[in-house]
């Protein structure tokens, strides 16, 4: 696939490098020459230019990209103009990094197809892991729902999913279980699946119900 990453701070440069490592074509763009030089050897093309200029974007052929990621840090006006011009140039998928909810609303209004909050998401993940060591990973979905990786609390071990009855008690679905012994993943496990202490539960549900389960699993 063809990607353009606009804004080469820590977040943008890491995305650009990782996409390139996964055998994608990556165009990296930033107004800061030092940042451009820093990623030159890790992407397909690196260009120093002002992305808040429609003619610059058009000259680079951004409309040919499958995805354009806009990660311009504190430059709120620049990110808004960049997204607007990308939309006007016909870019199909525009992923933009937002600094706040108001910024996100504006980005969506001018053409962003997806808005992300990397700092906010990382803060939530870290806070959840610190508040409950059983939470191994957290993935927000549509508003109010999440997927979590959960190390089974002691009271889950040795019980079947039927006995735990998480769906009726919490409205939570166990969508998969990672087993270490043997090393495999079981998708949509049966109600007779018995939880081992080495298993990892992948659960889906409303955030308030997940929070209730996490709170009770610590007691």
Residues β-bridged to residue 206: 145
40 C-beta neighbours (distance < 10 Å), count: 12
Cis status of the peptide bond prior to 26, with omega within 30 of 0: no
The whole-number pLDDT of residue 123 equals: 64
Distance CA 162, CA 56 (A): 60
Helix 101-109 to helix 76-88 angle (10° resolution) is 20
Domain ranges in the chain are: 2-116, 120-217
Kindly report, residue by residue over 37-68, the tens digit of the pLDDT.
999 999 999 999 999 999 999 999 999 999 99
14 pLDDT above the threshold of 80: yes
Instruction: Compute the average pLDDT of residues 12-32.
Output: 94
pLDDT bucket at 23, cuts 50 / 70 / 90: very high
The whole-number pLDDT of residue 133 equals: 62
Rounded to two decimals, the pTM is 0.62
10 pLDDT above the threshold of 70: yes
6 pLDDT above the threshold of 90: yes
What φ, ψ does residue 75 adopt, rounded to 5°? -80, 75
pLDDT more than 70, % of the chain: 87
**Structure-block tokens of residue 157:** 């071990």
Distance CA 177, CA 5 (A): 35
Residue 140, exposed/middle/buried by CB under 10 A (0-12, 13-18, 19+)? middle
* Residue 128 parent element (H or E): helix 118-131
User: What is the dotted CATH code of the domain comprising 120-217?
Assistant: 3.30.70.1450
**Structure-block tokens of residue 40:** 């030159």
CATH architecture, domain 2-116 = 3-Layer(aba) Sandwich (3.40)
Kindly report, residue by residue over 114-166, the tens digit of the pLDDT.
988 776 666 666 666 666 566 556 566 656 778 888 888 888 999 999 999 99
2-116 against 120-217: fold identical? no
């Amino acid at each position: 696939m063809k990607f353009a990453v606009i804004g080469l701070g820590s977040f943008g440069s890491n995305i650009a490098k990782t996409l390139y490592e996964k055998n994608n074509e990556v165009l990296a763009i930033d107004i800061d020459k030092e940042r451009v030089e820093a990623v030159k050897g890790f992407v397909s093309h690196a260009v120093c230019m002002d992305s808040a200029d429609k003619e610059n974007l058009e000259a680079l052929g951004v409309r040919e990209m499958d995805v354009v990621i806009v990660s311009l840090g504190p430059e709120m006006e620049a990110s808004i103009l960049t997204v607007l011009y990308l939309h006007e140039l016909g870019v199909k998928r525009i992923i933009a990094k937002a600094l706040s909810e108001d910024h996100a609303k504006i980005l969506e209004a001018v053409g962003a197809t997806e808005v992300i909050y990397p700092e906010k998401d990382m803060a939530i993940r870290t806070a959840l892991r610190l508040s409950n060591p059983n939470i191994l990973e957290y993935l927000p979905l549509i508003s109010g729902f999440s997927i979590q990786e959960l190390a089974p609390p002691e009271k889950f071990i040795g019980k079947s999913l039927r006995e735990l009855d998480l769906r009726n008690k919490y409205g939570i679905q166990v969508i998969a279980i990672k087993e270490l012994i043997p090393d495999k993943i079981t998708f949509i496990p049966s109600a007779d699946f018995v939880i081992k202490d080495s298993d990892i539960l992948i659960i889906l549900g409303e955030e308030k119900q997940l929070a209730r389960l996490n709170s009770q699993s610590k007691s």
